[in-house]
Structure 1
Amino acid sequence: MSSTDMPALSLPRSFRPGLTLGGLIDGRGFDTLLVMTALGYLAVFSAWPLVYNLIMSLQEVDLFSLASFDRPFVGLGNYRDVLGAPEMPQIFRNTAVFVAASVSLQLAIGFALALFFELRFPGASFLRGLFLAGWIMPPLVVGAIWSWILAGDFGVLNYALKSLGIIDENIFWLSDPARSLWSVIIANIWLGVPFNLILLSVGLAGIPEDLYEAAEMDGATRVQRFFTITLPLMRAQLGAVISLGTIFTLQQFDLFAGLTQGGPSNSSNVMQYWSWQLSFQEYQIGLGSVISVLMIGVVVGLAAIYVRSTRHEQVY
């Protein structure tokens, strides 16, 4: 029988695609409505702001032209101004240090805590819950708490260090150019460790105990079991933690607003806070949009690398 002689496939009416009022009333087509609603939400609140921000990065936009839409097209002029700004090298270096230090230390501390709580001692669940208390706080509140801890004159940290005899005079953590960026890094590590703890604990819970028992019977030490079993099987979780941690760290704004405001003398300024300064303090909205576009490009690139690497692992 040829393909032209085969009878056409007829689906029951209840399974035919389509979104009608009758289908919504009896439940058919509701999944289509949900998908369309989600796509509409993404188009209005995600896609259009990204496109609008890209358009503004190619225009001369200030406080007056923002409302009047009288915006001269400058092409890549804004990009040249941002990349050639005298403060750009320092702010870029600060951003790289902030991301690298925050993500690596969050990962190391979170992994160590996840392994520690896998020991299943009495009270482990309660202590793990205490770590999560800091994660649910808004970052601006965390910034206010750490501003009290790191205050130069009456801060808790200076008081503790003086009581232990480690320092003789107060250290002005937030106003010292050599320490201001690291002060924000410490606060961001404290904020991000619980997130790493959650994801890595889930990954560790998925490793079969039989593998550890078999390795222990073969004479493998705890360190050997970690490098031969735990790390290889945790590769996907570690990749997810690093990727998400980098993206979240690049979006971190509230801690800088609550602690240092990018100062002193840009010593703790980073790209995301600089974008806000250009847009809402200096009213050079076109230049601020350029930084947003560049950071979006970095985030999309990191996400693409992670997705490609995980797909490669699934195939091979």
Structure 2
Amino acid sequence: MARFFNSMRDGIGFDLILVGAAMVFLLALAGLPLVYNILMSFQQVDMFTLGDLFRPLAGLTNYVAVVNAPEFWLVTKNTLIFVFTSMAGQFVLGFSLALFFAQNFPGAATIRGLFLVSWVMPGLVVGAIWSWILAGDFGVLNTILKAMGIIEAPIFWKSDPNFSIWAVVIANIWLGLAFNMLLLSVGLAAIPRDLYEAAELDGANAFQRFWTITLPMMRSTIGAVLSLGLIGTLQQFDLFPALTEGGPANTSNVAGYWAWQMSFKLYDFAKGATISVMMFVLVLIASVVYVRSTRHEVRG
């Protein structure tokens, strides 16, 4: 006992208490719900058996039923479109802005800070803003496109099956743009300026400096940004109820929102859990890639 109090006085025991408390917190709020969700995906669970301690086992029946569902392939296609176009838009625009604000001009830091407003706003608020911007009759985007002569008739972004998924993509790109820009700006700031000066003295133009210096030096940062972008986009939920609610006819539905619909609209909790487990596997893979990217960056 005396040794314990001595360790507490030295700070070592207190550190162990903090670490233990954090582990208990993560186990209670993340670990147990995850295990519960995985178990539910192998059971027969509906609104009548949700409160039962022991439920009938279903094996892989729920997974087979989800894959054979009529909307499975449409939702899968929408998820792939949503994830990869959002990631591409966020990364390309974020990298372009990071390179632009890396230049030394008055007000660069202030303007870059204003871009972070979109990142700190809740997803539902962003969805409400873009719902107004993308409105078919009075939306700002249609007004601008008409004024530029790009379109003649208004586009009903949220209710047209050909455009509904792109409405959510546009909003999600805007939502994650600042996060990508911030991380990539940090990576750019870590590159020694001497390399650019030496390359410029050797006659390298801007594109050559970008290709031979910026991209190789940013490889780990880019891997981390893309991995975090994949995780964040797969977990995006708030924009869908605010914009399209997955419609019309599932043309803008994605896996995360489909899992919520299956659980809390159709009360088929087992299939909702099954879809969530499938998504968890993808997020886990992206997390492993992210950890490996950051580990490589630290070693470098």
Shorter-normalised TM range:
over 0.9
- Aligned equivalents of 1:297 and 1:70: distance in 2? 25
Question: Normalization by structure 1: what TM-score?
Answer: 0.90
Question: Normalization by structure 2: what TM-score?
Answer: 0.95
Tell me if 1:34 matches 2:38: no
Residue of 131, 134, 137 corresponding to 1:153: 137
Residue of 177, 180, 193 corresponding to 2:177: 193
Tell me if 1:80 matches 2:64: yes
C-alpha deviation, 1:71, in angstroms: 2.3
Quote the residue 2:269 is aligned against.
285
Quote the residue 2:236 is aligned against.
252
C-alpha deviation, 1:104, in angstroms: 1.0
Residue of 289, 293, 304 corresponding to 2:288: 304
Structure 1 alignment gaps of length 5 or more: 1-12
Q: In structure 1, what residue type is equivalent to 2:123?
A: P
Quote the residue 1:115 is aligned against.
99
C-alpha deviation, 1:207, in angstroms: 0.5
- Aligned equivalents of 1:115 and 1:312: distance in 2? 23
When the two structures are aligned, how many residues end up with a matched partner? 300
- Aligned equivalents of 1:123 and 1:310: distance in 2? 31
Quote the residue 2:215 is aligned against.
231
Quote the residue 1:240 is aligned against.
224
Q: 1:144-188 CA deviation, whole Å, 9 max, x = no partner?
A: 000000111221112222233332222101000000001100000
C-alpha deviation, 1:311, in angstroms: 4.9
- Aligned equivalents of 1:166 and 1:215: distance in 2? 42
Tell me if 1:267 matches 2:245: no
Task: Single out whichever of 102-111 and 64-73 deviates more from structure 2.
Answer: 64-73
Give the share of equivalent positions with the same residue, in percent. Answer: 58
Q: Secondary structure at the match of 1:29?
A: helix
Which aligned runs of 4 or more in structure 1 are off by greater than 3 angstroms? Answer: 20-28, 305-316
Q: Contact 2:164 / 2:247 at 8 angstroms: preserved in 1?
A: yes
Quote the residue 2:204 is aligned against.
220
- Aligned equivalents of 1:221 and 1:105: distance in 2? 26
Residue of 40, 57, 61 corresponding to 1:56: 40
Quote the residue 1:10 is aligned against.
none
C-alpha deviation, 1:306, in angstroms: 3.9
Q: Secondary structure at the match of 1:59?
A: coil
Q: 1:189-215 CA deviation, whole Å, 9 max, x = no partner?
A: 000010001000000001111000011
- Aligned equivalents of 2:293 and 2:101: distance in 1? 29
Change (3 A) 1:68 1:288: same
